[in-house]
Chain A
Amino acid sequence: MASPLVSIENVDMRYGGPSGTLAVSGLNLRIGRGEFVAVVGPSGCGKSTLMKLTTGLHIPQGGSVIVANSQVTKPVSIVGMAFQNPTMLPWRTTLENILLPLEIVEKHRRRLRSHKSEYVAKAEKLLETVGLKGFGDKFPWQLSGGMQQRANLCRALIHEPELLMLDEPFGALDAFTREELWCVIRDLHASQDVTIVLVTHDLRESVFLADKVVVMSARPGRVIAEHMVPFERPRQLDLLYEPAFNEMVQKLHGEIATARAAA
């Protein structure tokens, strides 16, 4: 088997100097190319920290983080990120917001000016995929929260990242919009060659979308269990109502409850 895209080995991360909060300790995780991994765990266990370690926004005090065969010592540029808070820039239109990563990523920023129309077409296609066709020239404040989150996804995808990191991206959405976006992400993963790491509090979301669900312990976080999700792809929303699905969700729920109690 090829080497994993992300390999986190025995990582310790402490915030705020030697006497600060130990966020994660003895963290081990491997993520294969093209895999869809969901990370669940009690609140404050270090899930967001795991995301920041993987993308190189934080450098761990102990252990090593290897992404695409090289040790992470600075932010890696093959990732797209989306957070719960959409962080759209209010002075740019939705389309300009989505094009923002292209102005940053080394590979694209030189081509952007000369190939503008090509990139705009691509952004418009992404908007269409998430159901925002024709909203490109609206400003973020003219969009609803759910629409902003969709645009946020487009921004995370525009530069075709190899690794997509999603930190509770659907947390603030209503159930219907959430399920709709689950399908968007599912189809995206199926149609493109992208590795996805999704942090979530919604266990049904994790089981529905992921190939592998990773359960973390309470702080200091480490991985206490990894579950392969057995359900066949392509998965339909009907899956949510099948007994086997609910059984798995319940098992995860029990594990996290135990992890919380152990803290």
Chain B
Amino acid sequence: MTTLDETAPIAAPPRPAVRINWVRLAPLFYTIGLFVLWEVGVRISGLPHTILPTPTRVFEAIVQYWSPIWKNSMQTLYTTVLGFLIAVVAGLGIGLFIGWSKTIYAGLYPIMVGFNAIPKVALVPILVIWFGIGTVPAVLTAFLISFFPIVVNVATGLATIEPETEDVLRALGAKKMDIMLKVGIPRSMPYFFGSLKVAITLAFVGSVVSETVASNSGLGNMMASAQSNFNVPLVFAGLLMLAVEGIVMYALMAWVEKRMTGWAHRSTMAN
């Protein structure tokens, strides 16, 4: 605590009812602090707008170009969320399939790792050849880049069922399907919801990369063209919008996670 307490006696009297919750407010203060530091730093060093604009200049750009920024932000959000949703469905499906048996897990895992090692930027040209430029490759890149963590997490949740739990159920005559439905899937849900936070962040990376090289719309494309016009404040405005969208979606996923798997935060299984 950084409050002044030189007057605090040993037996503290009841504090005033209105107390500032510094922990809750910390993110706000730190964000403001960052912007202030940025503003002051740029002004003191005298860097030109074309290299590093001040935040006030960036906010000016946001106001000035609000209509295209809004339109492109929505486009990026749309491609990202769509790619992410496909990744959720496919990731859940593939994860369940891989986690189903130890053999499938062992066989497919290295392939998945190899696939994940490929930089997804390298796939954008192929997607453009197949689907042309625009929304489709952006959605697919977002999907490709974000489905891997979901698969790995779901599969791991399934593949790490305690052998004793399995024994108890098998001794009752449980089929593989029963064990998956009663234990495997509920058990992998915390892993699944936990992976959504990582996946949504990656989805933004995928869609923006694809928009930057192969699209006529979206924040990636807007920033690329602003850059070629030396409109650096607009580039930063795009980055700021991406950051905002990223934070909002991340917070949403964290909230979903907490709502869906509250038990995992209480029990010892959370690991």
Taking beta carbons and an 8 Å cutoff, which residues of A are in contact with B?
52, 55-57, 75-77, 79-83, 85, 87, 89-91, 100-101, 103-106, 139-141, 155, 159, 165
B140-199 with Cβ < 8 A to chain A: 162, 164-165, 167-174, 178, 182-183, 186-187, 189
Residues from chain A with Cβ under 8 Å of B111 in the complex: none
Residue in chain B with minimal CB distance to A101: B172
Contact call B174/A85, Cβ cutoff below 8 A: no
Residues from chain B with Cβ under 8 Å of A141 in the complex: 263, 266-268
B264 contacts the other chain (CB 8 A):
yes
Identify which of A89, A103, A105, A159 contacts B165 (C-beta below 8 A): A89
What are some 16 contacts across the A-B interface (CB < 8 A)? A52-B167, A55-B167, A75-B172, A76-B171, A85-B162, A90-B267, A90-B269, A91-B189, A100-B169, A103-B182, A104-B169, A104-B174, A105-B172, A139-B266, A155-B168, A165-B171
Contact call A56/B171, Cβ cutoff below 8 A: yes
Residues from chain A with Cβ under 8 Å of B178 in the complex: 103-104
Residues from chain B with Cβ under 8 Å of A101 in the complex: 172
Q: With the chains together, A127 CA to B173 CA distance in Å?
A: 24
Q: With the chains together, A103 CA to B169 CA distance in Å?
A: 10
Residues from chain A with Cβ under 8 Å of B167 in the complex: 52, 55, 57, 81, 83
Q: With the chains together, A155 CA to B261 CA distance in Å?
A: 24
Return the 5 tightest CB-CB contacts between A and B, nearest first.
A90-B267, A77-B173, A141-B267, A104-B172, A55-B171
Q: With the chains together, A76 CA to B171 CA distance in Å?
A: 6
Contact call B172/A87, Cβ cutoff below 8 A: no
Residue in chain A with minimal CB distance to B183: A89
Given the contacts A52-B167, A57-B167, A81-B168, A104 and B263 also touching, CB distance less than 8 Å:
no
Taking beta carbons and an 8 Å cutoff, which residues of B are in contact with A?
162, 164-165, 167-174, 178, 182-183, 186-187, 189, 261, 263-264, 266-269
In the assembled complex, how far is the CB of residue B207 from the closest CB belonging to chain A, in whole angstroms?
34
Residues from chain B with Cβ under 8 Å of A106 in the complex: 173
Q: With the chains together, A89 CA to B172 CA distance in Å?
A: 16
Contact call B269/A87, Cβ cutoff below 8 A: no
Residues from chain B with Cβ under 8 Å of A104 in the complex: 169, 172-174, 178, 182
Contact call B170/A90, Cβ cutoff below 8 A: no
The residue among B169, B170, B173, B261 with the most chain A CB atoms within 10 A of its own CB is: B173
In the assembled complex, how far is the CB of residue B130 from the closest CB belonging to chain A, in whole angstroms?
42
> Given A90-B264, A90-B267, 14 other A-B contacts at CB below 8 A?
A52-B167, A57-B171, A75-B173, A76-B173, A77-B171, A81-B167, A81-B171, A87-B168, A89-B187, A104-B172, A104-B173, A105-B172, A139-B267, A141-B267
Residues from chain B with Cβ under 8 Å of A155 in the complex: 168
In the assembled complex, how far is the CB of residue A31 from the closest CB belonging to chain B, in whole angstroms?
16
Residues from chain A with Cβ under 8 Å of B186 in the complex: 89, 91
In the assembled complex, how far is the CB of residue B271 from the closest CB belonging to chain A, in whole angstroms?
12
In the assembled complex, how far is the CB of residue B22 from the closest CB belonging to chain A, in whole angstroms?
31
Contact call A83/B168, Cβ cutoff below 8 A: yes
In the assembled complex, how far is the CB of residue B52 from the closest CB belonging to chain A, in whole angstroms?
50
Contact call B173/A100, Cβ cutoff below 8 A: no
Contact call A79/B182, Cβ cutoff below 8 A: no
Residues from chain A with Cβ under 8 Å of B164 in the complex: 83, 85, 87
Residue in chain B with minimal CB distance to A100: B182
Residue in chain A with minimal CB distance to B170: A75
Contact call B171/A75, Cβ cutoff below 8 A: yes
Q: With the chains together, A155 CA to B182 CA distance in Å?
A: 15
Contact call B173/A87, Cβ cutoff below 8 A: no
The residue among B167, B172, B174, B263 with the most chain A CB atoms within 10 A of its own CB is: B172
Residue in chain A with minimal CB distance to B270: A90
Residues from chain A with Cβ under 8 Å of B266 in the complex: 90, 139, 141
Q: With the chains together, A75 CA to B176 CA distance in Å?
A: 13
